[in-house]
Amino acid sequence: MTRQVEQRPSVDVDLLQGTLDMLILRVTALRPIHGYAIGQRIQQLSKDALRIRQGSLYPALYRLEERGWLKSSWETTEGGRRAKFYSLTKAGRRQLETERAGWDRLCEAISLVFETAAEE
């Protein structure tokens, strides 16, 4: 008996390039991780709300590596296969902090607007 693949309630979010970059940096900060796993992890951490399109993910990874924020190396997975693992560089770590701070400020500003607007 075949089971139908469930319809996932998540949405294919077309993230802004900068936002996607920030998420990738966050995920790779913990430990070296390959491309497929990055997509899965973002989906997992956002409780299925964010599903990254592979067509956007890999160009972003290549761009970040070119910028010097990620470094990559080919390692063997637990399953014994060869995969390209990405990890954060020192510069990448600094960039992550900068972007995170910027994002927090943005959120705060937007919340303020809504609160104020709600009061009037």
Partner 1 sequence: MKWNSWLKRRWERQMDAEFEFHIENQTREYVKHGLPQTEAQLRARRDFGGLDLAKDECREQRAFEPVNRLFRDLRQAIRSLRRAPGFASSAILTLALGIGANTAIFSVLDAVVLRPLPYPEPDRLAVVALYNPALKYSTYLSYPDFLDWQRGAKSFERITALSPTRGYDVTNPGSPEHVNGYEVSANFFQTLGVTLSIGHPFTAKEDQPGGAPAVVISNRLWRERFGGNVSVIGKSIVLEGAGYFITGVLPPDFRFESQPADVYIPIGRSNPLGFRQDRTNHDILCVARLKRGVSIGQAHAEMDMLQEQIDRLNPDTEKALSTHIVSLKQELTGDVGQTLTLLLGAVSFVLLIACTNVANLSLARSAARVREFSVRRALGASRVDITRQLVTESVLLSLLGGAVGLLLARVAFGVVLRAAPVPLAGVIDAGLNMPVLLFAFLVSLAAGIVFGLVPALRYSRTNLEADLREGARGSTARRQGVQNVLAIVQIALAFVLLSDAGLLFRTVNNLWAARRGFDTQSVITFQVGLSPFVKQSASATRTSYQQLTARLRDIPGVKAADITALLPLGQGDNSGPFWLGTHQPASMSLIPRANWYPTGPDYPRSMQIPLRRGRYLSDADNVHSPLVILIDTVMAHTYFPGKEPLGQILTIPHWGSVGPVTARIVGVIGHVEQYGLNSAGSAKPQIYYSVYQLPDEALPLFRSEVTFVVRTMTEPGRVLASVREAVHDVIGDQPVYNIRTTRELVSGSIARQRFPMVLLAAFSVLALVLSCVGIYGVVAYSTAQRVPEIGIRMAVGATRWDVIRMLLRQGLRLTIIAVGIGAAAGLVFAKVLSSFSNLLYGVRTTDPLTFAAASLILAAAALLACFIPANRAARLNPMNALRHD
Subset of 54-73 contacting partner 1 (CB under 8 A): 54-55, 58-59, 62-63, 66
Amino acid type, 7: Q
Residue 59, token pair as written in the block: 């160009």
Residue 29, token pair as written in the block: 């900060």
Residue 114 interacts with partner 1 (CB under 8 A): yes or no: no
Residue entry with tokens 């972003």: 60
Q: How far is the CB of 25 from partner 1 (least distance, A)?
A: 16
- Exactly one of 29, 83, 87, 89 binds partner 1 (CB under 8 A); that residue is 83
Q: How many CA atoms lie within 13 A of 104 on its CB side?
A: 6
- Exactly one of 21, 23, 33, 34 binds partner 1 (CB under 8 A); that residue is 34
Contact 25, 99 (CB under 8 A): yes
Which residues in this chain contact partner 1 in the complex, by CB under 8 A? Answer: 2-3, 5, 34-36, 53-55, 58-59, 62-63, 66, 74, 81-84
